[in-house]
Chains A and B, each alone.
Chain A
Amino acid sequence: FPDLAAQSGIPADELGHHAGYYRLSHTHDARMFYLFFESRNSKKDPVVIWLTGGPGCSSELAVFYENGPFTIANNLSLVWNDYGWDKVSNLLFVDQPTGTGFSYSSDKRDLRHNENGVSNDLYDFMQEFFSEHPQLAKNDFFITGESYAGHYIPAFASRVHQGNKNKEGIHINLKGFAIGNGLTDPAIQYKAYTDYALEMGIIQESDYRRINKYIPPCELAINLCGTTGSAACVASYLVCNTIFNSIMGIAGKTNYYDIRKQCEGSLCYDFSNMEKFLNLKSVRDDLGVGDIEFISCSPTVYQAMLTDWMRNLEVGIPALIEDGINLLVYAGEYDLICNWLGNSRWVHAMEWSGQEAFTSLPAIPFVVDEEEAGQLKSYGSLSFLKVHDAGHMVPMDQPKVALEMLKRWMQGKLAEDSPQPSDLAADM
């Protein structure tokens, strides 16, 4: 990206931007594509991996439209992102599961259908990545992502934690995991759709009563799906999505990722500049992706993961936060599809030793540049942040706030004024 280097005033060979393929273990022929951006600040900064959702949407969406080092201008030149997360971290973007973005396999059996497969692939990749970059292996490690990554993230965090406990391979210094506008506990989150839609004026009281009739069969179907079901999980996907589809039947062309906007195109946003950019021969040559077809969001991967959709991924989280691994759940307030209300409800309903203290805490303002940027609750290892003036993609809508959130959270300074377990114990 020679233009970019010229803008930055740094010689291109000093930027520390890497692209690679990882030949996945335990597959027939799968290759995982990734981008790695060394920190613009220090190589000692934490390693942060970002997982895009979908399932099946490429990590390049986040690179160019959310928290990557640069954005794409209309003339397809790159412009530095002043709030790229590589300002405070060594940042990894991975196209996963297999079939997403530039990741591929020549063998159809390599498609993943559940979190077991996804998390094992990511764990194997991190092992290999740290072998390639041993100087980073001792750094703190954080797992982040958005949307359907609300499924991937807890599964991957559990896999890393288990690997560490079993002394498998290289120890990964997992310090925390953050879920942005995620889908983690469908039973709770699907029930919240009508409440959020009514509260935001998307539906009326009579619609609310009518659509709520679908909630009991949805709950029943989700219970049948549980955490390991298959056919029952597809059935529950169909039943429960009737709730969401009924709301959208009333909302019309409203963008369900940001209810302040209209839905444009198949993904509700115009990502065409990225698709054009990634199909430029010069860029493909630079990235080393050959003739691999790039797909922003793969319908094949989406369909392959349908049995996974309604599974509850909250179940593995308490064990992680009890062991001191930090969890941040954040949500832009104008997103419908993974709305803050549903996220707040599962976070509050989660059973762990700090649940009572967490639920009884009042939310406090999250202040950036002397302005309230959100409402925060934090206790022990658990934090929840409702982000103002943002939809599904918080780093796109509120880049400065998102960077500040990441920075403070990684430093353990997200809620310096909140009471913590030791304070409460002292009071007792």
Chain B
Amino acid sequence: SISVPDDLRLPSNANFPITQAEKLIRELNLFPKDAHATPTPPSGDSGTGPRIVEKRFG
């Protein structure tokens, strides 16, 4: 048996977020279900040309 110092001993009713942890562990290896669908780039954005496209708005 391992001796646990008193200041590291948790209350008997310690309640860690097990459900949250399980959810996260499942999600971290998968892309989350609520991810965006592949977006459509704004018109005129072909992925080539200048890196910055800026417009002045009124």
A, B: real partners:
yes
Residues of chain B with a CB closer than 8 A to A29's CB: 47
| Partner pick for A286 among B11, B20, B39, B58, CB 8 A cutoff | B58
Can you give 30 A-B contacts (C-beta < 8 A)?
Answer: A1-B58, A5-B58, A13-B58, A17-B56, A18-B57, A19-B54, A19-B57, A20-B54, A22-B51, A23-B51, A25-B51, A31-B41, A104-B39, A106-B41, A132-B54, A213-B11, A216-B7, A216-B8, A217-B8, A238-B17, A238-B20, A242-B17, A245-B17, A286-B58, A288-B53, A290-B45, A292-B39, A292-B42, A303-B27, A306-B24
A9-33 vs B: 1/0 string, CB under 8 Å?
A: 0001101111111110100010100
In whole angstroms, how far apart are the Cα atoms of A128 and B35 in the complex? 28
| Chain B CB within 8 A of A108 CB | yes
Q: In whole Å, how far is B11's beta carbon from the nearest beta carbon of chain A?
A: 5
Any B CB within 8 A of the CB of A415: no
Q: Would B14 and A293 count as touching, CB distance under 8 A?
A: no
* Interface membership of A43, Cβ < 8 A: no
How many Å lie between the Cα of A104 and that of B41 in the bound state? 9
CB-CB under 8 A from B36, the residues of chain A are: 99, 104, 293, 295, 300
**Interface membership of chain B positions 25-53, coded 1 if the CB is closer than 8 angstroms to chain A and 0 otherwise:** 00110011011101111110101000111
Do the beta carbons of B47 and A239 come within 8 Å of each other? Answer: no
Whether B2 is near chain A, meaning CB under 8 Å from some CB there, is: no
Seen from chain B, the residues whose Cβ lies within 8 Å of a Cβ on chain A are 7-11, 14-17, 20-21, 24, 27-28, 31-32, 34-36, 38-43, 45, 47, 51-58
Asked whether A265 is an interface residue with its Cβ less than 8 Å from the other chain, the reply is no
Are B45's CB and A21's CB within 8 A? yes
With A29-B47, A238-B17, A242-B16 already in contact, the answer to whether A106 and B55 are too (CB < 8 A) is no
**Further 8 A-B residue pairs, CB within 8 A, beyond A292-B42, A300-B35:** A1-B58, A18-B55, A21-B42, A22-B53, A25-B51, A29-B47, A216-B8, A287-B57
Q: Are A234 and B57 in contact (CB under 8 A)?
A: no
Contacts of B11 in A (CB 8 A): 210, 213
Residues of A within 8 A of B52 (CB): 20-23, 128-129, 131-132
Report A-chain residues with C-beta under 8 Å of the C-beta of B31.
Answer: 108
Taking CB atoms, residues of chain A closer than 8 Å to B9 are 213
Which size bracket describes the interface of A in this complex? Answer: 35 or more
The smallest C-beta distance from A312 to any residue of chain B, in angstroms, reads 21
CA distance A13 to B15 in the complex (A): 59
Q: A108-B31, A238-B24 are in contact. Are A36 and B42 (CB under 8 A)?
A: no
Contact present for A31 and B27 (CB under 8 Å)? no
A210 contacts which chain B residues (CB < 8 A)? 11
Q: Residues of A contacting B15 with CB < 8 Å?
A: 242
Which B residues are in CB contact (< 8 Å) with A18?
54-57
Q: How far is the CA of A239 from the CA of B40 in the complex (A)?
A: 39
Contacts of B38 in A (CB 8 A): 106
* Interface contact A290-B24, CB-CB below 8 Å: no
Q: How far is the CA of A104 from the CA of B38 in the complex (A)?
A: 9
Rounded to whole Å, the gap between the CB of A198 and the closest CB of chain B is: 18
Cβ of A416 within 8 Å of any chain B Cβ, yes or no, is no
* The one of A13, A128, A129, A239 that contacts B56, using a Cβ cutoff of 8 Å: A13
Among residues of A, the one whose C-beta sits closest to the C-beta of B20 is A238
User: What A residues does B27 contact at CB under 8 A?
Assistant: 303
Contacts of B16 in A (CB 8 A): 238-239, 242
Task: Name B15's closest neighbour in chain A (CB-CB).
Answer: A242
Question: What distance in Å separates the Cβ of B49 from its nearest Cβ neighbour in chain A?
Answer: 9
B residues near A108, Cβ cutoff 8 Å:
31, 35
CA distance A170 to B55 in the complex (A): 23
Residues of B within 8 Å of A367, CB to CB, are: none
Within the complex, the shortest CB–CB distance from A318 to chain B, in Å, comes to: 30
